[in-house]
Chain A
Amino acid sequence: MKRISLIVLFLSQAALANVGKVPLDWIKPGSQHQKAFTSLNQLDSAYKNILDANMSLFKNIPEDGHKRWSLQSIRTEVAIEAGGTIGVMGVGGEAALELVWVKKNSSSKMNRAIRLMEEVTEPESESIQIRGEMTEESLAQEIAPIVDLAIASGHMRKRRRLFNGLFKEALKFQSTIRELETAPAMGPWYAYKYQLELYVSAEGNISLVAIGNSIRLRMEWWRLKKNEAKAFYPPMIQEELSANAKFVTAIASDLSVMNDTPLDNGFKLNVLKVGVGTTVTGNLFFVKGKAKAVGSIFFKRDPNEDQALVLPTLMNDVSSYGMIEGGSVVDVPRFSFREGIKKASGIAQFFASRAKTKEEGQFELNVIEAEFELFTSGGIGIVSVEGSSLITLFVTRNVTI
Chain B
Amino acid sequence: MKIKYLIAALLITFQVQAGIESASRIVAKQVRRKLIHAQSALSRPVTPYLYTGSDNTAYYMKRIRLQFEPFVEFHLAVFEIKIFPIIEFRWTRKNPQGWVNYKRE
Contacts and interface: CB of A to CB of B under 8 A. Distances in A.
Interface in B50-82: 50-69
Contact of A210 (B66, B69, B87, B91): B69
A302 B101 CA distance: 13
Q: Taking chain A's interface residues, is the majority helix, strand, or loop, or is none over half, making it mixed?
A: mixed
Nearest to A180: B59
A129 B97 CA distance: 11
B104 A190 contact: yes
Contacts of A182: 54
Given A128-B50, A129-B47, A181-B54, A154 B37 contact: yes
A151 interface: yes
B67 to A, nearest CB: 4
Contacts of B64: 146, 149, 217-220
Q: Taking chain B's interface residues, is the majority helix, strand, or loop, or is none over half, making it mixed?
A: mixed
A141 B91 CA distance: 18
A325 interface: no
A154 B68 CA distance: 10
Given A149-B41, A177-B59, A224 B100 contact: yes
Contacts of B95: 125-126, 222, 224
Interface residues of B, number: 59
Contacts of A116: none
B89 A6 contact: yes
Given A130-B49, A218-B66, 11 more contacts: A10-B86, A125-B94, A126-B48, A129-B47, A131-B52, A132-B52, A153-B38, A181-B55, A225-B102, A230-B105, A231-B56
Interface of B: 31-35, 37-44, 46-69, 84-105
13 contacts: A7-B87, A125-B98, A126-B95, A132-B52, A134-B52, A149-B64, A152-B37, A181-B58, A181-B59, A218-B67, A220-B61, A222-B102, A226-B56
